[in-house]
Amino acid sequence: MRIGQEHLSYDNHVPGVRTAQNEAIRHLNAFVTVSTQDADDHRRHLSGLRTRITDIANAAPRPKAEPSDLRAPLVIAAGRLMPVKRYDLLVEAFAKVVAVHPEWRLRIYGQGPERTNLRAAIDTLGLNDHAFLMGPHATMETEWAKASVAAVSSEWESFGMTILEAMHAGVPVVATDCPHGPGEIITDGSDGLLVPSGDPDALAAGLLKLIEDPDQMRRLGAAARSTVQRFAPSAIALQYEQLIGEILEARTPVTLKITRRARRAIGALLPRASRVPRTNETPGPGPKDATSSLTGELARDAKPRPLRPMSDCRVDTEGSVRISVRASGVSGEGLTLVLRRRHNDDELRIPLESPSDTKDPRTVTLTRDRLSLAEGRWDLHIERSQDGIRRRLKAGLVEQRGLLSATPTAGEPVTWSIPYTTKDGYLALRTFHRAAHGEVTALPAGDGSLTVEAFVHGVVLGEGAALVGVSRGEGTEGFETPVAAVDGPLFRARLMSLPSPAGPDKALWDLFLRPVQGAEPVRLGRLLGDIVDRKETDKYPAVTMATSTGGSVAARFFFTVTNDLSISAS
SS3 track for 485-517: EEECCEEEEEECEECCCCCCCCEEEEEEEECCC
| Structural domains for the chain | 3-59+233-249 (no CATH), 74-231 (3.40.50.2000), 310-434 (2.60.40), 437-569 (2.60.40)
Cα(492)–Cα(250) distance, rounded to whole angstroms? 76
> Is the CA virtual torsion 280, 281, 282, 283 positive or negative?
negative
Cα(99)–Cα(253) distance, rounded to whole angstroms? 69
**Of the candidates 553, 426, 433, 434, the residue with the CA atom closest to the CA atom of residue 497:** 553
Residue 335, CA distances (Å) to 313, 338, 387, 437, 461 in order? 18, 10, 10, 37, 48
Element (H, E) at 479: strand 479-482
**Of the candidates 378, 364, 288, the residue with the CA atom closest to the CA atom of residue 325:** 364
State residue 286's pLDDT score. 55
Cα(415)–Cα(378) distance, rounded to whole angstroms? 14
- Which positions ≥6 away from 452 have C-beta within 8 Å? 440, 443, 467, 492, 493, 494, 495, 511, 524, 565
In 72-93, which positions are buried (b, 16+ CB within 10 angstroms) versus exposed (e)?
A: bebbbbbbebeeebbbbbbbbb
**Of the candidates 175, 162, 142, 145, the residue with the CA atom closest to the CA atom of residue 231:** 162
**Of the candidates 358, 295, 102, the residue with the CA atom closest to the CA atom of residue 211:** 102
Long-range CB pairs of 191-197 (<8 Å, 24+ gap) are: 191/167, 191/220, 191/223, 191/224, 191/226, 191/227, 192/163, 192/167, 192/220, 192/224, 193/220, 197/154, 197/155
**Of the candidates 520, 28, 521, 529, the residue with the CA atom closest to the CA atom of residue 319:** 529
The residue type found at 88 is: D
State residue 279's pLDDT score. 53
Cα(130)–Cα(543) distance, rounded to whole angstroms? 18
* SS3 assignment, position 261: helix
Cis upstream peptide for 13 (omega within 30°): no
State residue 473's pLDDT score. 83
pLDDT digits (tens, 9 = 90+) for 59-108: 999 999 999 999 999 999 999 999 999 999 999 999 999 999 999 999 99
Cα(194)–Cα(200) distance, rounded to whole angstroms? 13
Whole-prediction pTM value?
A: 0.90
What residues does 157 pair with on adjacent strands?
180
Residue 155, CA distances (Å) to 84, 90, 185, 546 in order? 6, 12, 16, 44
**Of the candidates 116, 365, 108, 67, the residue with the CA atom closest to the CA atom of residue 228:** 67
Phi-psi region of 198 (alpha: psi -120 to 50; beta: other; left: phi over 0): left
The residues of the chain scoring below 70 in pLDDT are 253-262, 265, 267-302
Residue 151, CA distances (Å) to 97, 131, 248, 471, 537 in order? 13, 13, 42, 42, 19
Element (H, E) at 451: strand 449-457
**Residue 189 CB neighbours (<10 A):** 13
Question: Using an 8 Å Cβ cutoff, are 84 and 158 in contact?
Answer: no
End-to-end CA distance of the chain: 67
